[in-house]
Amino acid sequence: MKGWGEKNKYFHANFLCFKGGKVMFEKDSLVPYVVEQTSKGERSYDIFSRLLKDRIIFLGEDVNPTSASLVIAQLLFLESEDPDKEIFLYINSPGGSITDGMGIVDTMNYIKCPVTTICVGLAASFGAVLLANGEKGKRFATPNSEILIHQPLIGGGQGGGISGQATEIKIHADHLIKAREKLNKLLSEKTGQPIEQIEKDTERDHYMSAQEALEYGLIDGIMDKRI
């Protein structure tokens, strides 16, 4: 990145997070920031804002209402800046909420910008779905990444454990089955695998190395050097 100053510092920040429907603060989170030299003097950015200037979005946590909203907002912002320029979505996520994740998927498909997806570390559960949903030919994983696909889990971002009357449990079970069918269809479309194979492989946790994910059709290449 050209024009950066030599300073590279860290600051302690209080971050908003949502737990149990309440707004809470995570104190003393260590976030790096950089100081850039401009014609108007020095300007400082937290590292994620600086990466956004280069059209890089980083998902480094589970998929939840807050993280999904941030990714969606960044996708929409970058499209408004330049609707034809590529966006890079780096993923290191254990997955999470299907509902929130589908919001990201729909936004990726909605915007005009091609979205390159890159797994660095782990793309599990819905993280793998986001990875596969990148622009065809532009889905990558670093050599030591792990990818995991499986069926939706009760309590896995779908509102916690289920309890109540039998009719209520059946409603939740039917919804979970529909979610599984939707995800299997999406993975089949994105990987080229028959739906029967996807159903078999997602019956239990199915781990893949970067090479195995490439052979499976979930990614298009292994990225060991910047392109």
Considering the candidates 67, 97, 145, 150, report the single residue annotated as catalytic: 150
Structure-token pair, residue 49: 């804002």
Rounded distance, CA 99 to CA 63, Å?
Answer: 9
Is 125 catalytic? The answer is: yes
**DSSP bridge partners of 116:** 88
| N- to C-terminal Cα separation, the chain | 15
Q: Which of 115, 121, 116 is nearest to 143 (CA)?
A: 121
Considering the candidates 67, 125, 175, 206, report the single residue annotated as catalytic: 125
Q: Which of 139, 153, 155 is nearest to 192 (CA)?
A: 139
Helices (H), the chain: 47-53, 65-81, 98-110, 126-132, 166-191, 195-201, 210-216
**DSSP bridge partners of 57:** 89
| Phi and psi torsions of 220, nearest 5° | -110, -10
Given a contact cutoff of 8 angstroms between Cβ atoms, the answer to whether 93 and 60 are in contact is: yes
Instruction: Report which residue type is found at 152.
Output: P
Nearest 10 degrees: CA dihedral of 115, 68, 107, 99?
Answer: 130
- Which residues are designated catalytic? 125, 150
